[in-house]
Structure formats: C-alpha cells, structure tokens
Amino acid sequence: MKPHAISIKQVRTADELRQVQRIREIVLEAEQGFPHEVNVDGQDPSAIHVLVLDRGEPVGTARVTKRSETEGMLARIALLGSHRGKGLAKRMLRHLETVAKHAGLQTIYVEPHAHLEPFFRSLGYETVPGRVELGGHQLIRLRKRVLAVLISEGGCLCTGSFVFMKQAEPRCSRSKTYLSKNPARPKSG
C-alpha cells in the first residue's frame, strides 16, 4: 500500500455518512457482533466523523461526540480487516484528535475492548478505572488530555498540552498569552 494512496477526510455529505455506516455494519456488527441498535445510536447527526480512503475507496471510520463543552468521546472506530496492521488506525485517530482539538475539546475518552489497551496507551491514553458494558461487550475506559486550539485576541495560534498563563508583557506582539510546561516558571521570551 503506497502512503499517497491513503487519505483521511472529515465527513460532510449524506453519501459519505452512508459509507461510514456501511463500514461500521461490516466491522462492528458482522465481525464483532454489536447489535445494530448500538451501532446506530442516534448520535451520528451531531458527531464529527472521519473517513479513511484507500485510492478513493472507504476502508475506515471513527467519530467524536461532545459529552460537554470540553470533553468528547471517540467511538465507532472501524477499519476493514484488509487494512489493519498498516498504521492506518493510528493515523485515523490522530487525525480525529486534531479535529477534536479544533472543536474545543480538552479531554477525549474512548471505550475499546481490553486487548486494544496497549495500542491506545501508545497513543498517549491513560486507563480510567472501571469497565463499561455495551451491547454484550465488556469494554475498558481510557482518556487523553488534549488542549483545544485557541486563537488569542491578537490572532496568535496556540496549541499543545501546555498550561496557558497571562503575563504582564506579551511574548507574542499580538497576544498576552504565554505557554509554559511549568506553571511556576514561564518561559522567558
């Protein structure tokens, strides 16, 4: 599989949403045995979906829904069997995390099967105590802190897992927003 043959896009049309639902029917319902009513849970219209395409053909999907203004849930993650083990799930989830940041989310949760815990931990997720039952499946809970993309009043773009601080003299000539990994000692500029 050539890297340039793969694209990941945000779903914007009804036809693309039908492609998403078809992949989920194959992976989540037929392969994994989730009931149709779990797969089609009524949250699709308000969710942000991504679609993975290989040479224009849909091969994977995932979505993020808002739980609150700052928290979201990654769900309905599905990749056709022929495309697993090639790094596409990681690319798809990183893309969706970026979309979640742009939607203003600071923490995202995911509830996968337990055998996927090492995969999600490799992406920076941490395990949350407790299990979840969904459609007869026992799932674990994980979360990841992501910091929303913020545009300050002066137009500076600030991203990353940092503590935002206000200082007397701005480092950016258009903004008074400072970034520091250590809130006790902001970076000098």
DSSP string, 89-125: HHHHHHHHHHHHHHTT-SEEEE--BGGGHHHHHHTT-
Residue at 176 is within a domain: yes
Give pLDDT, residue 179.
38
97, 107 Cβ separation under 8 angstroms: no
Number of domains observed in the structure of the chain: 2
Q: What is the pLDDT of residue 175?
A: 37
Within-domain flag for 14: yes
Are 36 and 55 members of one domain?
A: yes
**CA-to-CA distance for 145 and 101, rounded, in angstroms?**
10
Query: Residue 169 has what pLDDT?
Result: 34
Query: According to the model, what pLDDT value does residue 135 have?
Result: 86
**Partner residues linked to 128 by β-bridges:** 141
Contacts of 183 (CB under 8 A, 6+ apart): 163, 165
- Three-state secondary structure of 40-69: CCCCHHHCEEEEEEECCEEEEEEEEEECCC
Gap between the Cα atoms of 163 and 86, Å rounded = 35
Task: Identify whether the C-beta of residue 79 lies closer than 8 Å to the C-beta of residue 52.
Answer: yes
Q: Are residue 77 and residue 131 in the same domain, yes or no?
A: yes
Give this prediction's pTM: 0.74
Range of the domain at 54: 3-145
Residues 44, 104 share a domain: yes
* Structural domain includes residue 167: yes
162 and 90, same structural domain? no
Q: Please check whether residue 188 lies inside any domain of the structure.
A: no
Claim to verify: residue 82 and residue 138 sit in the same structural domain = yes
Q: Do 85 and 31 lie in a common domain? A: yes
Whether 115 and 162 share a structural domain? no
d(CA 80, CA 3): 17
Query: Helix, strand or coil for residue 23?
Result: helix
User: Per-residue pLDDT for the chain (189 aa), expressed as one digit of tens each?
Assistant: 455 699 999 999 999 999 999 999 999 999 999 999 988 899 999 999 999 999 999 999 999 999 999 999 999 999 999 999 999 999 999 999 999 999 999 999 999 999 999 999 999 999 999 898 888 889 999 999 997 655 555 555 554 433 333 333 334 433 333 333 333 333 444
